[in-house]
Structure 1
Amino acid sequence: MGDVVAGLRVAAIASLTPLEELDGDPFLVDTRSQHAMCARWAADRGHVVTRQLRVHGLRADHRALWADTGGGPPELFVAPNDRVLARALASAADFAAECERRGVQLEFAGLEEPVYTARAKADVHRRLSMPTAGYDGC
């Protein structure tokens, strides 16, 4: 992680975490808020989020991470924080090494997580309990 150039193609990483963990760590379950945090971070730096990944325990070299999606492969990955990245990937350290090997930047948004009231948790539960048409996760 180092200097970040403006205007890069960004892939935002969110962790797919079982709904049963909502009370213990609501942010890990709330992929919508994770992606919103990444999008805010990217927009503040003039980047374009070209992919939103929702993954759990994925290998660092998995093709879903590195796929060319029309505009080219990602030039930068951003995750909300190290906790999310550790859940999303089988090994965050292996992924960081793979990013370095491929010349792709890896950053953490590091913004403040939302506060989860009982109502907010219920909203997350409701959203995630419903079938998702056109699911774009891996």
Structure 2
Amino acid sequence: MNAVRVTAIACLMPLSELDDDPFLVDDRRQHEMCSQWAADRDYRLTWRLSLHHLRADHCALWQDVEAGLVDVFVVPNRRALENAVDSAEDFTARCAAAGVRLETADLAEPVYTAAMKSHVHRRLSMPTAGYNGC
């Protein structure tokens, strides 16, 4: 396996946005897309972050970079990045300054059926009711 270490970033949109943009609500599918991107390059996925408008300078994004544990950030697409961090431009500039690549997987988004939306809704709305997310 390649020694390139990847942190996947998905956006975490409110469940109320499910009908408008189900992919951005479904952080699991976003992470699957990032995982596939990393696997296709034989990179090692080391961290998965699900964020909603986090400050681009937040320590949660940079502590592993500063420790030398991250080589690449990957996001599913630009739209996800714009919703994961408060400023995609600031985050991109910080990545460049830190010498960490920022990549977008840009794979095809799934087409959500009513059943898929229902599954996402159930998974996100009942995490403490014993539903295991499967």
Q: TM-score higher than 0.5 here? A: yes
Alpha-carbon distance between aligned partners in 2 of 1:68 and 1:110, rounded to the nearest angstrom: 24
Which residue does 1:25 correspond to in 2?
Answer: 21
Residues 64-83 of structure 1 show CA distances to partners (whole Å, capped at 9, x for unaligned) of 011239x8431100000000
**Counterpart residue number, 1:90:** 86
Aligned equivalents of 2:27, 2:8: Cα separation in 1: 10
User: Which of 72, 77, 80 lines up with 1:76 in the alignment?
Assistant: 72
Partners of 1:89 and 1:68 in 2: CA distance:
17
Q: Secondary structure at the match of 2:28?
A: helix
Q: Deviations over 1:2-44 (max 9, x none)?
A: xxxx531100000010000000000000000000000000000
8 Å CA contact 1:77–1:105 kept in 2: the answer is: yes
Q: Which residue of 2 aligns with 1:119?
A: 115
Name 1:102's counterpart in structure 2.
Answer: 98
Shift of 1:90: 0.3
Deviant stretches of 4+, over 4 Å = none
CA RMSD of aligned residues (A): 1.5
Normalised by the length of structure 2, the TM-score is 0.89
1:64 is aligned with what amino acid? A
Gaps of 5+ in 1: 1-5, 133-138
- Identity score, percent: 60
Higher helix proportion, which one?
A: 2
> Unpaired runs of 5+ in structure 2?
129-134
